[in-house]
Amino acid sequence: MRARRPGGHRQLAPRRQGCPGRGVPQRVRRPTTGQSAVEGCHRYPPGGSQLWRRRAPKCIRIHGRTPDDRHPRASDQTGCGRHHSTVTEPPALDGLLVVDKPAGPTSHDIVAIARRALRIRKIGHLGTLDPMASGVLPLVVGRATRLATLFTGARKQYEAVIRLGLVTDSYDITGSVVGGSDADGATLPRTARPTDDEIRRTAIGFTGSHPQRPPPVSAKKVGGVRAYKLARRNAPVELAPVTVTIDTLSILAIDGMRLRCRLVCSSGFYVRSLAHDLGERLGCGACLETLRRERHGPFGLEDVVTLTALVEQGATASTRVVPMDRLARDLPQVVVTAAGARRTAHGHPLGQGDCAPGTEPPTWVFSGRLRIVDEGGRLLAIAEPGADRLLHPKIVLV
């Protein structure tokens, strides 16, 4: 049994009007406004007091409206008295930008600079160019990144200077010298060095297809690890040879122990390995001194924008972006109707009935990839023919 408090237990406060409950104070409810929140639904008789609320603020859109919105808001229509301000965003930028990469930065550094300059995150390059190399570096922007696979096997053209008499661990002039006729302590007499005719004949002998071993300092992976990371740890790197092709190789000049040449080669070809292999065949050793890429597929030095101009112009450099409609022009083209364009956007296969009138190909027989465009010439997709005699969109761009 609870003991009695001295002086008795605490008494509850008397009830106050408007506070039903054992003396516990409660909030007095504000009287209703007398009007319904929804116009036309008169929950209360008309003529009540005015609403106790302020007017809603003006609507400010987070994303700007594009001209091709299918369902404009009622407030944007003629006759509406309200005005809504909009926060505009930069227009979508899709295409290809060819940058003249200087020697020094990596290809990823150029991508990062382009992202900041154009204020676009979705940018990538079509093929790594060594830090010591310069020249054509195509960047795909926006939805054009989906077309990167179309250019992975493109031919490339280089101008290179090969330094005879030096062998480095990276096969280029930036590496550590590990041998060669001109290296410290070399025992090869000067009279045993190759003549110009020997250099010319041996270099041209690399023309055609042959196996090539990539340099130990390269982006190739060995057991899931980049080869250059293993080389930095002084770990042994053994890369398997890869079959490559040199279409043409021309000797531009021979100046003592320096050979300047121009070559057109297949994708995956290492000019550093060419220099190293040339030095081994000549017996004096060699490494790559300078390298400039003059062409990547259909894009050459005449299409480039310098890195300085890209940084200075910023977003205005977007005028140098090649639009997607001008890409992959070497592929056959099929023009589709509006209904065919909708089917293409959903990835549905296309038949002859989807072709625009008067643009049907003479035969519905295709091999390889082809472009799907609408009647306005806009590139919609890259398609491939199937065994069902239908065109199947593989890369949808809309």
Query: Could you tell me if 108 and 161 lie in one domain?
Result: no
261 and 245 within one domain: yes
Q: What is the pLDDT of residues 277-312, one digit of tens each?
A: 999 999 999 999 999 999 999 999 999 999 999 999
Task: Tell me, yes or no, whether 100 and 132 share the same domain.
Answer: yes
pLDDT, residue 50, reads: 52
| pLDDT (tens digit per residue) in 116-164 | 999 999 999 998 899 999 999 999 999 999 999 888 889 999 999 999 9
Q: Which of 36-40, 122-126, 237-241, 358-362 has the lowest mean pLDDT?
A: 36-40
The residue with greater pLDDT, 367 or 268, is 268
Q: Each residue of 254-283: pLDDT tens digit?
A: 998 999 999 999 999 999 999 999 999 999
Q: Out of 94, 100, 130, 354, pick the active-site residue.
A: 130
Give yes or no: residues 261 and 338 share one domain. Answer: no
Is 316 within the bounds of a domain?
yes
> Which residues lie closer than 8 Å to 272 by C-beta, 6 or more apart?
130, 170, 171, 172, 215, 287, 288, 291
pLDDT of 40 reads: 52
Q: How confident is the model at residue 29 (pLDDT cuts 50, 70, 90)?
A: low
Q: Is 361 exposed, middle or buried (0-12, 13-18, 19+ CB in 10 A)?
A: middle
pLDDT band at 239 (very low <50, low <70, confident <90, very high): confident
Q: Please state, for a pLDDT cut of 70, what percent of the chain lies above it.
A: 74
How many structural domains is the chain composed of?
3
Residue 28 in domain:
no
pLDDT of residue 6: 63
Query: What integer pLDDT is reported at residue 156 of this predicted model?
Result: 96
Residues 187 and 291 in one domain: yes
Q: Higher model confidence: residue 185 or residue 285?
A: 285
Residue 197's CATH number: 3.30.2350.10
Q: In this predicted structure, what is the pLDDT of residue 317?
A: 83
Active site annotation includes 184: no
Q: Give me the pLDDT at residue 221, please.
A: 77
- Asked if 171 and 217 count as a contact pair (C-beta separation under 8 A), the reply is yes
Q: State the DSSP code for 357.
A: T
Asked if pLDDT for residue 69 goes beyond 60, the answer is: no
Quote the pLDDT of residue 285: 92
Of 298, 391, 273, the residue nearest 341 (C-alpha):
391
pLDDT-based confidence at 329, cuts 50/70/90? confident
d(CA 158, CA 261): 8
What's 387's domain CATH number?
Answer: 2.30.130.10
Verify that 169 and 289 share a domain, yes or no: yes
d(CA 372, CA 394): 11
Q: How confident is the model at residue 75 (pLDDT cuts 50, 70, 90)?
A: very low
pLDDT tens track for 79-105: 444 444 333 345 568 999 999 999 999
- Looking at the DSSP bridge assignments, the partners of residue 222 are 225
List, for residues 186-229, the tens digit of each pLDDT value. Answer: 555 554 678 999 999 999 999 999 999 999 887 787 777 787 77
Query: What are the residues facing 137 on neighbouring strands?
Result: 99
Residue 223 maps to a domain: yes
Contact 132, 103 (CB under 8 A): yes
Q: Are residues 162 and 266 in the same domain?
A: yes
Domain annotation covers residue 141: yes
- Could you tell me if 347 and 371 lie in one domain? yes
Scanning the structure block, which residue is given the tokens 């040339």? Answer: 278
pLDDT value, residue 133: 96
My answer on whether 216 and 275 are in the same domain is yes
Nearest to 175 by CA among 34, 254, 275: 275
CA distances from 389 to 343, 351, 383 (A): 16, 8, 12
**236 and 318 both lie in a single domain:** no
**pLDDT at position 84, please?**
42
| The two structure tokens encoding residue 327 | 């890409």
Q: Is the pLDDT of residue 16 over 50?
A: yes
Which CA distances in Å does 171 have to 54, 131, 217, 248?
Answer: 75, 13, 8, 22
Residue 3: pLDDT band (50, 70, 90) is low
The confidence band for 391, taking pLDDT boundaries of 50, 70 and 90, is very high
Tell me, what's the pLDDT at 185?
58
**Assigned domain for 213 exists:** yes
**pLDDT for 191:** 46
Report the chain's mean pLDDT, rounded to a whole number. 81
Residues 6+ apart with CB under 8 A from 337: 354, 355, 356, 357, 375
Do 181 and 271 share a domain, yes or no?
Answer: yes
Asked whether residue 25 is domain-assigned, the answer is: no
Q: Is residue 318 part of a domain?
A: yes
pLDDT over 80 (residue 70):
no
Per DSSP, the chain holds a count of helices (H) and strands (E) of 6, 19
Range of the domain at 349: 331-396
Cα–Cα separations (whole angstroms), residue 113 to 118, 120, 134 = 9, 10, 16
**Contact assessment for residue 317 and residue 305, using Cβ atoms and an 8 Å cutoff:** yes
Residue 85 lies in a domain: no
* 112 contacts: CB under 8 Å, gap ≥ 6: none
Position 60 scores a pLDDT of 54
Is 242 found in the same domain as 184?
A: yes
Average pLDDT over residues 333-347: 94
> What's the start-to-end Cα distance of the chain, in Å?
82
**Do the Cβ atoms of 106 and 77 come closer than 8 Å?**
no
